[in-house]
Amino acid sequence: MFEDASWTSTFFLICALGLALGFEFVNGFHDTANAVATVIYTHTLRPGLAVVWSGIWNLLGVMSSSGAVAFGVLALLPVELILNVGSAAGFAMVFSLLLSAILWNLGTWYLGLPASSSHTLIGSIMGVGIANAMMKEGLRWGDGVNWAKAEEVGISLLVSPLVGFLSAGLLLLAMKRWVHRADLYRDPQPGQPPPTWIRGILMLTCTGVSFAHGSNDGQKGMGLILLILIGILPGTYALNQQATSLPTSAAPAAQVLRTYAASQPSTGDPAVILSQFLRTKAPADPGVFAALAAVAERMARSLVGKRTVKELDKPTRSQMRSDIYLMTSSLSLLHERKVWKSPADRAQMDAFAKDLTPLTQYIPFWVKVAVALALGLGTMIGWERVVVTVGEKIGQTHLSYGQGAASEFVAATTIAAADLAGLPVSTTHVLSSAVAGTMTANGSGLQMDTVRNLALAWLLTMPVCLFLGALLFALGLNILAGLGLR
């Protein structure tokens, strides 16, 4: 694994992987513990067994994840930092966003504020992007963030708790209308498990939340770990070495792109032209198409006579990854603008992008296992505080069996839907909102101290983490420059 790395790179790699897994560990007792809150509070399972059960399903969720959420979150990062993640700026980016996320998560957990790890990480990423833009000549602070992606992620994080609140409340009302079993709506009895059929329902909903959380929240750490590996060990991780074939559509795609370049020759560095195009979202002029054609032609030349990734030399793999990132990101933007003059051209470009994606959008098996284990260990450490909050501190009455089942069912389906859409959501906020929805529907009322804390965490997390991310990035970049790293 370390054959490409110098002593210094190995040191940075170990530190960065430790931070990334540390973030997932903190995420475990900060977010993942929500999955076991109802089964522990209702005495459906003993704490140790509940944590192990949830950990198994978190692991399966992580292992089955597509990586769409991971790459969606990484799309928020500045283009030049993704392309040069092995530089001093890339190292500073990784360390600053992970450290700021961990610090805020630990602080809010200690203070009992129900903050979201998703909000925390995304705020840190935006802070890094803004700081990077402010420190570069010719860039405005807003150029450091992919605002279109930020808007998409922001809407997901904003809407999902509202969906949880309304859906769980409506589900509880429907249950009361159609399921006339008094024991389902009773408060848990101290030390006594619920009836067998209710235990089955609660275990099923716990399983659903655990699996959905692993498949969604677990991806954030996986994406960052892959970024670290690419920066330090590009020869090994720049491209998916398990890919069964190499793209064959580069040359035909280059021919199509040349027709849109209006005979303009490729001038300047294509990477610079396309990075500026992606950063500014300016109209696509012939120069952009000429740069895309040049990149496609370079890919075609690199792949001549090659059948597998392992036949490419290490510098070519690194260059190929950068080219694929620029190509697929640019094509995605062009598809949104509907620039293609004919359905045949669009189909050719769609096929080209689809051909390229498996080479770069992958997560190594060992990374999935490591993230799943970190989440599970974190859950074992910090479940108790979350269980008490969910069971007793949201509503003015204790959580009933029916409320727990409705809340977790809605949380599981909401997170799973976001996972299918490739969008991050907060398990903490979705489940807390769902419990609040059932309390409101039940007429139990809400504890305003908890509502205040939820609102406070919601309002503070993004700006504080944005500031922390920016500050730590600037500090880290100056420290690395002082050490002579570029």
Average pLDDT over residues 426-452: 87
Q: Are 396 and 402 in contact (CB under 8 A)?
A: no
Taking phi first (over 0 means left), then psi (-120 to 50 degrees means alpha), and beta for anything else, what does residue 116 get?
beta
The whole-number pLDDT of residue 288 equals 93
Structure confidence by residue, pLDDT tens digits, 253-265: 999 999 998 877 7
Angle between helices 147-178 and 427-441 (to 10 degrees): 30
Half-sphere exposure at residue 307, Cβ-oriented, CA atoms within 13 angstroms: 0
pLDDT tens sequence across 41-89: 888 888 888 888 888 888 888 888 877 788 877 777 777 778 777 777 8
> Residue 110: pLDDT above 90?
no
**What average pLDDT does the segment 280-307 reach?**
91
Mean pLDDT comparison of 64-68, 184-188, 301-305, 383-387, highest-scoring range? 301-305
Q: Percent of the chain having pLDDT more than 90?
A: 28
Task: Read off the pLDDT band of 425 (50, 70, 90).
Answer: confident
| Alpha carbon distances (Å) from 109 to 33, 229, 269 | 12, 29, 47
- Report the distance separating Cα 432 and Cα 428, nearest Å: 6
What pLDDT is recorded for position 32?
A: 64
Token pair, residue 240, equals 């998916």
Query: Which of 221-230, 356-365, 387-396 has maximum average pLDDT?
Result: 356-365
- Give the per-residue pLDDT at 6: 67
Task: Quick: pLDDT tens for 143-179.
Answer: 777 777 778 788 888 889 899 999 999 999 999 989 8
- H-run or E-run covering 114: none
* Higher local confidence (pLDDT), 246 or 264: 246
Q: Is the pLDDT of residue 236 over 90?
A: no
DSSP state for residue 400 in the 8-state scheme: P
pLDDT for 362 beyond 60? yes
Run of H or E residues at 417? helix 401-420
| Least confident interval from 97-111, 168-182, 341-355 | 97-111
Mean per-residue pLDDT of the chain: 85
Using CA atoms, how far apart are residues 178 and 169, in angstroms rounded to an integer?
A: 14
Q: CA-CA distance, 276 to 295, in Å (whole number)?
A: 15
What pLDDT, on the 0 to 100 scale, is given for residue 486? 63
Predicted pLDDT of residue 136 = 77
pLDDT of 87 reads 76
- Per-residue pLDDT, averaged over 452-462, amounts to 81
Residue 466 pLDDT greater than 60, yes or no: yes
Give CA–CA dist 235/242, Å, rounded: 14
**Smallest Cα–Cα separation from 98: which of 9, 19, 29, 17?**
19
Least confident interval from 324-328, 379-383, 471-475: 379-383
CA distance linking residue 436 with residue 430, whole number of Å = 10
d(CA 98, CA 105): 11
Please give the residue that has the higher pLDDT: either 26 or 207. 207
pLDDT at res. 336: 87
